[in-house]
Amino acid sequence: MASLKRLLIGKPMETKRLKHEKLPKWKALAVFSSDALSSVAYATEEILLVLALLGTSVFFYSLPIAVAILVLLLLVT
């Protein structure tokens, strides 16, 4: 299994080289947060679509779901 992982991912970096590969937080947020935001937006749309298909009897779930999504956004950014 380790040889397959090495083949797919490659050789691990040396510790000396790792510090040159890290992004500062301000750059990393600019690069990676748009992906998280678009995923959260897509997930919210799909959750509301399912709730709409199930009918108005399950719309009371929308507030707890919105709070959970807000917590995820706060954790990611």
| Domain assignment of residue 12, yes or no | no
| Domain assignment of residue 42, yes or no | yes
Residues 61 and 48: beta-carbon distance below 8 Å: no
Q: What is the pLDDT of residue 52?
A: 85
| Domain assignment of residue 18, yes or no | no
What DSSP letter does each residue of 15-63 carry, written as one string? HHHHHHHPPPHHHHHHHHHHHHHHHHHHHHHHHHHHHHHH-GGGGGGHH
| Domain assignment of residue 36, yes or no | yes
Domain region containing 40: 23-76
Single pTM value for the model: 0.42
| Domain assignment of residue 55, yes or no | yes
pLDDT tens digits for range 11-70: 877 777 766 777 777 777 777 777 767 777 787 788 888 888 888 788 788 888 888 878
At residue 77 the predicted structure's pLDDT band, cuts being 50, 70 and 90, is low
| Domain assignment of residue 7, yes or no | no
| Domain assignment of residue 14, yes or no | no
Give the chain's domain count: 1
Q: How far apart are CA 62 and CA 68, in angstroms?
A: 10
Q: What is the pLDDT of residue 69?
A: 79
Task: Using alpha carbons, select from 20, 21, 22, 38 the residue that is nearest to residue 77.
Answer: 38
